[in-house]
Every structure is written in C-alpha cells, then in structure tokens.
Structure 1
Amino acid sequence: MPANNLTRGQKVFATAGVMLALLLASLDQTVVGTAMPRIISELNGLEYYAWVTTAYLVSSTIVVPIAGKLGDMFGRKPFLLTGMVGFVLASALCGLSQNMFQLTAFRAIQGLFGGMLFATVFTVLADIFPPEQRVKLQGVFGGVFGLSSVIGPTLGGWLTDGLGWRWVFYVNLPVGILAVTVVALGLPYVRSHANWRQIDFLGGAVLAAGLVPLLIALSITNTHAWTSPEVLGLLILAGVLLISFFFVERRASEPIVPFQLFKLNAFTITVIIAFFTAFGMFGSIIFVPLIYQGVLGVSATNSGQLLTPMVLGLIVFSIVSGQLMIRIRRYRVLAIAGASAIVGGLLLLSQVTVGTSQWEVVRDLVIIGAGLGTTFPLTINVVQSALAGKMVGVATSQVQFWRNLGGTVGTAVLGSVLANRLFDSVQKQVAALHLPPQIKLPTSQGGSSPQALFDPNNLAHLRATLPPQAAPLFDQFIHATRLGLADTLHSLFLIAAAVVAIAIVASFFLREVPLKAAAGRNSGFSEAPVAEEAEEEFERKEALPA
C-alpha cells in the first residue's frame, strides 16, 4: 500500500514509530555527555575523552546525505529499520566496552546508524502526510529533538549515579526494540525499481574522505589553534577532497548530492537559513549553562532545568509556525521573524552579568526557542514542497546535513572564543583585586577550563582549605572570575548574533513555493524545472488582481 493511502490508524502507528526513532537518536547525543567523567575514571582513558564524542559526530554527519539519497532510491523503511537495529546493537556494544579504544570505535559505528535515522525520520513524514498535516507534525518532531537536549543530561546523571554509566547505552535497547516493532508493523514498504549498480559508490567514498578531516579539524580547535599545523593540514586536505567530490558528482548518473539543487532558490536559501541559525541553537544549548553555573552560580541540576523554557518556546512556535505557513502566502516573513528572534535573544544574553536575574535569562531563552521553533519546520517544509517526490530525501537530508555542519562550525568557533579569551578576562578581573601574594587561588590550576574554574564542588573544597581570614578574599576572587566569564560570554554571544544575522538577510531573498504544489509528485530527476515552475506560478498568482 502506498504511504499516502494509509488509513488514519496506520498513519498514527507509523508516526509513533518514527517519533520513537528520532527520540532514540537525539536523546543518545545528550545522555552520554553526562556520563563521560565516570567512564574516563573507570576505563582510564583521558586521552580518548574528546574522541568518544568526535567519532560519533563525524560518522553520523557523513552518513546523513548518503542515507538521504539511498532512501530516495530504495525506500525509507529499509533504512529506518536498519538504522534502528544497528543503533541498538551498537549501543549494546558501547555498554560492553572494556576500554576507551573500544568505546570510541563502537561510538563511531553507533554514529553511522544514528545519521541514518536523522536522514530518514523527517522524510518519512513527507511520504505519509500531505503538506498541511506535515507542517504541523514537523513542529512536534522538532520539539522532540529539542526536549532531548534538555532531559538528556538529567537522565544521564540519574542513570550514571544509580545503575552505572553502562546504562546510558543500555537504555537504548528497550526504546529501540519498541521503535523497531512499531515501524516494522505500521510503516508500509514502497517497492523500488532501483538497483545497487546505480549507487554512487565513488561519490560516497570521496565525500566521506573529505568530511572526515573537516569535522576532525573543527572538533580539535578547542585544544589546537586554528593556525596550528594539525588544523590547517586537515582543512587543506578536506578542501582538496571536497573539491574533487564536486567534479565526481558532476559526472555521476545518480549523484549523492545533485549540485543542480543549489540553482533552486527555495533549496539554497533554506540551507543558508538552517546553517546559520544552528549557530544560535548550539550557542544556547552548549554555552548558556555557563551563564547559569559560572556567572549566576546556579547548580548544574537547576541550570539544566532552566533550559526547559527554550524547548517549550521551540515546541509552541513550531506548531504556530506550521499553522501560519499554510494560511499565509508570503511565509518568508516567518523566516525573517524567526531568525530575528534568535538574534534578539542572543543579544539579550550578551548583556547578562553577575547581577542579572535568572528569569531574565529564561526570557531570553524563550525568545531564542521561539525563533528556532519558527525556522526549524519552515526550512524542511519549503524544500519538501519545492522538489519532486523522488528528490525529497536528498533535499531533506541536505537541510539536516547543513544544520549539523553549522552547529559543528558554530561550536568550534564559539568554543575557540571561550578558550582564547576566558583566562585573560579572569586574570584581568582578579588582578584588579590586588590580592595579597600569599593567597594562592585556582587560576593557575584551572587554566582556561570553565569546568575547573567554576565547578561548585571544586571551589567549595578550595575555600575549605584556606585559613578563615582568607575566606572573604576568596569570595572576592569568585566574584571576579564570574565577571571575567561574563565578559567572555558577552563577546561570544555577540559573535553568534552577528552570524545568525546572515540568516535574516538570506530570508529576504526566499521565493515562496506553494506548499500544496509538490504534493503527490513522484516524477524523476526534474526537480529544478518543477520547483522553478512552482515559483513562477506563485509569482503569477500574486500579480493577479484580488
């Protein structure tokens, strides 16, 4: 049975399975981070700390565009099921790891299947639902992704402290088994006429070879300077390989990345919006906890809870955005408003100092969440409506790919700002106190690490080791370090706001394609003419007198 002919009950069942698949992949990314200190302590592998995360990031990002193309060729269900089964098995292997090398290798395998899930889940919605319903549901799916980023750290801490760190991986097993069962029973398989000889093996290999050094280079910028031989060498290698990939794809009959897509306004502009708004998303999720814990002195547990309003804003405005997209013609205003909200929220965060109320930060996060909730479903729905049915997987996975890449670049750039400026800012504030030389404070021990400088337990321990008469001076030092962190975060969020502002400019150039225009299209590779005709048709209707 074709997916678009499903009964209401079948659609509900299939949607529940796809949502579980998204929860499975997105929750894992945030749950594991909390358990990493305990994992390192037990497996004795501090030198592999960063690689556990990097291995997953690299492999998952690489497979997204490849899985998107193969899903168009062979159908979504095989890749969705393969992704879930592989993800669950790799999770079990991660939990059984006996050393950090094994864990890193298994995380890389897990990332391959996680990327397969991310490339498929949003495309399945386009297969099952017409545009009007799809727009609404993608807002909910975006909320699932956002909610995972908030509840993940808390769940990870609870599992690590209660059942042990291995359960941050084992918890995927029951969720995954349920998701596999629901998808296997509820999602129909659409038979394909493609065969393995049509797969662009050379393009996939060159793309992977180019992305690996690029992502590794971005991932190590927190420990290596951008001008270091390691980073520069990897970036140059990545550049050469990715240029080669462009020429390989130009000659492929079924290219993994059809570069003709970039001639299409609806595709190119939405990719730009997705890439640059990811700066705001990851800037908030990753660095806002430093505001709470470092600048305002909130506990780690409470700081995680205080991120919840951003997710609520994302969920609510995802749904609102979906409702508005099907009711207004010029929906580019939603993209402009969403990107502007993110910029406004980041500018407000840049003004936070030690005297700022927690609720002011909550307000700022709600504004950012509203902006993300507006732009997230819009970018996916625009490309899915603009392209022919055969290309919807490629287009959707490309939006996901560029959003992930934007987040990676943003994390690298903003992380470098933090690493390069924090210690000097703290030293400047501490020097202004003119502390007695006999008072030994932890700036030299902490280096530029926020965790060392602002960990409450570490600071409480250090304060307890000081003589009573030094305690007031130590409190002054803590206040100075918070001022230094606030100064650093001021620059960080200003840079993030400036980058996201590029998305505002790009949004003005978005040419709207009617959301109903692409429903039911199952033609071959003729996406650019189809989309251009839809755009021209929309412009002609706008020109007609009311």
Structure 2
Amino acid sequence: MSAGRRLLAPLSGLLLVLFVATLSSTVISTALPEMLGRLHGSPVQLTWVVTVALLTATASTPIWGKLADLYSKKTLIHAAVAVFVVGSLAAGLSQSAGFLIAARAVQGAGVGGLQALAQIAIAAMIPPRERGRYSGYLSSTTALSTIGGPLLGGLLVDTSWLGWRWCFFIGIPVAVAALVVLQATLRIPVVPRERVRIDYLGALTMTAGVGLLLVWVSFAGDAFAWWSWPSAALVTGALGLLALTGWVEARAPEPILPLRILRQRTTALAILGSLAAGTAMYGAAVFLTQYFQLARGFSPTAAGLLTIPMMAGILVTSLVGGRLVSRTGQVKPFLVTGAILLTAGLGLLGLTGARTSLVLMGVAMVAVGAGIGLTMQNFVLVVQNTVPLRDIGTASSTIAFFRSLGGTIGVSVLGAIYARRIDTPAADDIAYGNATGTVFLISAAVAVLGIVAAVSLRPVSLRTSLDLPQEPQSARG
C-alpha cells in the first residue's frame, strides 16, 4: 500500500475532528438570537456565549501543544475529543444562559485541543514539502467549517423538529466516529522524555492575562467607559500578567511558549500574519451573516447561503494552492498573493451599506475566501519547516494560539464598534449596513499587517525530511 493510501484513514479522522471543532465556534452565530431568547439571556450573555469558548480555546491551545511534545499525541487527541463531547452535550442540554456559558467554556477547551492536535499529528507524519498538499485539506476544512457554520446553524434553527440545541448535538456523533477511526488507524511514535515538567505557572498566568484582556474588550464601552478606572485596572492587570508570563517562560524548563521559538524571525512574522488572518476569518463569519439578516432581511438559512462565494474561494485556493506548494516547495509567493487578496476583499466589503450590490459583495467574498485559503495554513507550514520534530507541537500550537487570539480579540473589538454604531433608539437597516462597512474597513487595515508579514519573510524551500538534520554536538554547545 502506498504512503498516501496509508495516510488516508487517519487523515480523514483528523479532518473530521478539526471540522467539528471549528464548526462549534461558528454554527451558533445565526442561532444566537433564538438561543438566548429561549433561555432569557441578556445581550451581555449573548456576547459571552461566543467569547468564552474562544477564550478557553485560545488559552488552552499552547498547553495542548506543549503536552503533545511530551506525551502521546494519540492519547491527547482522545482526551480532547472527550472534553469536547462533554462540553457539547452540556451546552445542548442547558436550561439557563449561565449554564450555557459554563458549558461553552468546557467545549472551548476541547476545541483548542482538537484544532492544535490535528495539525500537530499531521506534522509528525508528513515532511513539510509533502505537507503543503495536506495543509490545503486542513485549510479548506477549517475555513469551510468556519464560513459554513452559520449556514448550518440557520438550517437547524429553521427546522422545527431540530432547533438551536442541535447546534451543539450535531457534532457529537461525528466526533465519536472520528475517535473510532483514529483509534484504529493513527500511528504516531511516542518519543520518551525524561524528567518532564509541566509549566503550570506559565499556563495559569497566560490564561489569566488573556482572560482579563478579553473581559476588557468585551465590556468596555458598555458596562464601563473605554477611558475609566475599570478599563485601566483590567488593562494594567492583563499587561502585568502577560509580562509575568514572559518572565516565567524565560526560566521554565519546559515553557508553554518557548521564547527561543518566538524570537525567530520566521515565527514572529508568521504570528503577525496569523493575527490578521484570524481577525478576518472570524469577523467575516460573524458579521456577514448578521448583515444579511439585520440589514437585508434574509432568513438565517438564506444568510448562510449568501456566504457561498467565500466558501468557494477558500475551497479552490486552499486545495490548488496546497498542491502547488508541494510541487514547487515554495510558500512565500502564495502567502504574499493571499495576503493581498484578503486585504483587497475586506476593503471591498468596507463599502458595504444597506443597499450594496450582492454581486459586488460576492466578488469581495471570493477575494476574502481566496486570501484565507492561501494564508491560514501556510503561515503554520512555514514555521513548521524551521523547527525540529521535537518542537513541532509547540511551534504549531503557538501559531494557532495567536490566530485564535486575533480572532477572539478581533471579534470582541469589532463587535463593540458594531454595537456602538447601531446604538440608536430604533436601529434600522441603514444603521446595520453602515456598521458592517465600518468593521470591514477596520479589518482591511488589520489585514495590511498580513501583507507586511508575508513580504518580509525570507524565501525558503520546504524540506523533504520529516525532521531537521541533526546538528553536530559541538554546534549544539
């Protein structure tokens, strides 16, 4: 049996868990009004149904990644699936908004593990040169579940015999089926590590720092003013905790975020580009479906269908781009092209108003989708190419962490701006249209950072070996 066929079964299982993990973050976007109405939730609770899952997913990603460098990747995938299933089941059975938020926190921790570990497992099985093709599958799976989630959520809400609870239930059988496939087919050697120490303090300070930052961007301008003592306290606390995290990581034997990796030029630029891509991807998924419903009057299902041009752009460019990366061994040209397309598409969406041509919006969505398809996984790939196999988990999860962080903070900040723009006694379709245009113009400005990052990367050929060549003992000091 060829190597490609041997990889097909475990790859299918990994793509399935990645699909349901990412889907869980976006499938609820069109269902939120119905969901919170049934549970008598407040607007603030509505925001936290989304934000808390992104927070726990973001904070847990580097922890899962570090554990993957220390313990069995297969066992960790099983554990992440279990956490995800428990959180999904609890969310679907929720009887109050508070319980739903708590369940989403658990679900998010599982999502962080699945998103990181799927990429790590593939990186541990396939050399970077060949990984370009498989990264295309990863990229299309992640992006399609991100953009397609609102469509599925709309269908579930509009189907009377299903309803909003199935936004959580629907992923459970798929995750369990993927677990069965992976148990039977996934084979990743476990590299024994002696005297393993888990960086619990670094994980705690990082999670607390990111959490305070997200609390600030979620509530500033609503519960308290942007320029106020609560804002100052939250920002000061967040920055202090993140600074403490840096101090801890510089001294930890097994840091969650190794500074030696973060200091590398390639990693730093990939982080910058991933922040931009994450903001664009999550922002497009959330605000486009809201625009089509609130400003244009479409049903949840129709709003999801109208995002198909973006899904098409993602699917085509991620698959074709991934194969071209594997064929040429070059990744920078695709990153530069993708970053430019992403910025241009978001700029066009910045022209959105209550009566904007749907044809123009379709063209813009294709450009945004193409940009996401060419950048999202390739930023991960370019970092994986620079690190040894023993650090592949940490390096992969670091990029995923910052991409998720960009999406989390981006959605929170853009959501606050969006809310302020429609904060009128009787917000109409014009207000919703103008607010949508504003958030996409801001997203386009952020996406320019992706162009800067892609252009600044040094041209590099992807290696054909699974691991970096061993350095001489003298070179290692």
**TM-score (normalizing by structure 1):** 0.80
SS at match of 1:34: coil
Higher relative contact order, structure no. (Cα contacts within 8 Å, ≥ 6 residues apart): 2
Task: Answer yes or no: is the 8 Å Cα contact 1:388–1:518 preserved in 2.
Answer: no
* Equivalent residues in 2 for 1:12-411, closer than 5 Å: 12-46=8-42, 48-160=45-157, 161-194=160-193, 197-221=196-220, 223-224=222-223, 225-328=225-328, 331-411=331-411
Instruction: Please identify, of 81-90 and 62-71, the stretch whose mean Cα deviation from structure 2 is larger.
Output: 81-90
Task: Answer yes or no: is the 8 Å Cα contact 1:296–1:358 preserved in 2.
Answer: no
Give the direction of change, closer, same or farther, for the CA distance of 1:504–1:155 in structure 2 (3 Å limit): closer
Gaps of 5+ in 1: 424-442, 447-452, 455-480, 531-546
**Aligned equivalents of 2:276, 2:244: Cα separation in 1:** 25
C-alpha deviation, 1:357, in angstroms: 2.1
**Aligned equivalents of 2:363, 2:39: Cα separation in 1:** 41
Give the direction of change, closer, same or farther, for the CA distance of 1:36–1:329 in structure 2 (3 Å limit): closer
Give the direction of change, closer, same or farther, for the CA distance of 1:45–1:508 in structure 2 (3 Å limit): closer
**Aligned equivalents of 2:364, 2:280: Cα separation in 1:** 12
SS at match of 1:33: coil
Instruction: Please identify, of 241-250 and 34-43, the stretch whose mean Cα deviation from structure 2 is larger.
Output: 34-43
Task: Answer yes or no: is the 8 Å Cα contact 2:279–2:411 preserved in 1.
Answer: yes
C-alpha deviation, 1:117, in angstroms: 0.7
C-alpha deviation, 1:291, in angstroms: 4.4
Identity of aligned residues (%): 32
SS at match of 1:194: coil
**Aligned equivalents of 1:222, 1:26: Cα separation in 2:** 29
Residue equivalent to 1:541 = none
Q: CA RMSD in A?
A: 2.6
Choose 1 or 2 for highest CA Rg: 1
After superposition, what is the alpha-carbon deviation per residue over 1:44-99, rounded to whole angstroms, capped at 9, x for unaligned?
A: 34363333323212211110011111101113211111111221122222223333
Give the direction of change, closer, same or farther, for the CA distance of 1:135–1:203 in structure 2 (3 Å limit): same
**Aligned equivalents of 1:243, 1:416: Cα separation in 2:** 26
Give the direction of change, closer, same or farther, for the CA distance of 1:6–1:204 in structure 2 (3 Å limit): farther
Task: Answer yes or no: is the 8 Å Cα contact 1:55–1:107 preserved in 2.
Answer: yes
SS at match of 1:162: coil
C-alpha deviation, 1:320, in angstroms: 2.4
SS at match of 1:254: coil
**Aligned equivalents of 1:35, 1:411: Cα separation in 2:** 17
Residue equivalent to 1:503 = 450
**Aligned equivalents of 2:282, 2:165: Cα separation in 1:** 27
Task: Answer yes or no: is the 8 Å Cα contact 1:84–1:179 preserved in 2.
Answer: no
Task: Answer yes or no: is the 8 Å Cα contact 1:10–1:187 preserved in 2.
Answer: no
Counterpart residue identity of residue 509, structure 1: S
After superposition, what is the alpha-carbon deviation per residue over 1:417-440, rounded to whole angstroms, capped at 9, x for unaligned?
A: 3233344xxxxxxxxxxxxxxxxx
**Aligned equivalents of 2:310, 2:140: Cα separation in 1:** 10
Gaps of 5+ in 2: none
State the number of aligned residues: 470
**Aligned equivalents of 2:3, 2:324: Cα separation in 1:** 26
Task: Answer yes or no: is the 8 Å Cα contact 1:292–1:358 preserved in 2.
Answer: no
